A and B are shown apart, each in its own frame.
Chain A
Amino acid sequence: MLALIGTIPYDGFPILSGEISVKNSNILIGEKSFQIKRGFKAMIGAASIVCKELSLFPPTAFTAGDIGLGDGSKRLYEHLRNQLSGIQVSVLTFHYLMPDIFWHDQIIKAIEEMSKKPILIADAGFMYVAKMSGFAPFYDLFTPDIGELAFLADELAPHPFYTRGFICHEENNVPSLISRAYKSENASKFLIVKGENDYICSNGEIIAIIKEPNVETLEPIGGTGDTLTGIVSALVYSGYAIEDAAVMAAIINRLAGELANPSPSTQVSEIISYIPKALSIVLKSLDKKNNEIHVKGN
């Protein structure tokens, strides 16, 4: 199972779990329908589309409503603490959850009780708490943007809001931030650093830099990082090695963005609709013999 875990922005919304599907620009968890917007909904939408295109079992969502008070996150953490060890999961992706060290450590305990440790992917609030609790190397993949990379590199910062000023989060500083994050054991085994260029890292080493297509107007669009996390989760679930899935996901996400011909006011739901086409282009360009991707202009 590909299990996707995160909150949705509805006050008091109860725990909901179920198979994810996308219909008429809406996302369904079981029978419950939601509009695709930035955040967890964009992430699971992207993952669901990739799973469908690759003829995989649909991913399963575990969610609850939380508008920032942490109540929904707590209910979801509690639910997972009790249920996780009994579920067969091969890839587990954590997303928008209130960073809470106590509950993070409870989740780690639940994962340790599973018969087989799944591949662990973390983004957003759960990535923050994974680093803050000192468990970053326990995870297989984080997907930070450059600001969040600076936070991973700052061994004292408990949240990106407190990243110290001298740790400069600029594009030209990315290699040294990566090195610093790994040195202080505040990074997962693999990283996708999202930015003007996407950096793919394996155990502290930059193994690929994705520069094309370069669509400057994607930066202001909320949710383009969420879609990347969803795409890579589905590709890893399909069996690609994490490093290959990371490279493919970065290119697919950029291509989907380019195909949408976006302006800074474009919403992520428009970009998601181009994921099947972008995925198809990347799969056709995949040189299986050499495991390389040759997309025009890349």
Chain B
Amino acid sequence: MPLIKSKKEEKKPDRGFLVFHNTSDVIRAEKILKKEGFKIRVMGPPPEHRRGCDLVIEFPLIEQLNILRILEKKSTPPIDAVPVDNPLLKPIEIVKTKDFGKYIMVRAANMKMTVEKSTLKIVNISGGGCPDVPYLAEKLIGKTLKEAPEPKQIGHTLCAYALHIAYEEMTKRCLL
């Protein structure tokens, strides 16, 4: 077995990731690209691209030109497109519900949303630590699931993203 791999044998990455200025741009780009039918995933950046509260979009490298053109057209261009050399961090997938009788609470990662069953009114939002959590709480509490803006639409951080997962689960349980 040869100790040094020939150039031909070196595994070239087939996925890349798009880096944006902030999480709200990631969320906007995710929506655009999913609507266009691209196979993309929202992931955590590798350490060398990590600033704090970050998300990146993993995409098939072969589609890079198409994707960049579409994002440019929609005024959401990334600040960088980088091949994936190491595995990206996967967002947490655990979603749990707790029944409080007249109320139901859904937890996703560090965020919790509680809804009154009879009115479908959002009565509380707890957990989280990014600055848009109190903002989201002020915008959502007191509104019904149908009236409330989606956390993904008005939030900007990973906590907002986690709250959106809780919101989607709550909507699935209460509205479908």
Contact = CB atoms under 8 A, between A and B. Distances in A.
A8 B161 CA distance: 19
Given A163-B109, A220-B105, A97 B131 contact: yes
A45 interface: no
Nearest to B116: A265
B133 interface: yes
Contacts of B90: 162, 164
A69 B50 contact: no
Contacts, number: 178
B134 A264 contact: no
Contacts of A99: 52-53, 129-130
A66 B133 CA distance: 10
Contact of A124 (B24, B89, B129): B129
A220 B131 contact: no
A70 B131 contact: yes
A220 B100 contact: yes
A96 B134 contact: yes
A39 B134 contact: yes
Interface of A: 7-9, 37-41, 66-70, 72-73, 96-102, 123-129, 132, 145, 147-148, 151, 156-165, 216-217, 219-225, 263-267
19 contacts: A9-B135, A37-B134, A68-B155, A69-B156, A70-B22, A96-B130, A98-B131, A125-B129, A125-B131, A127-B129, A161-B44, A162-B44, A162-B89, A219-B105, A219-B112, A220-B126, A222-B141, A264-B103, A264-B105
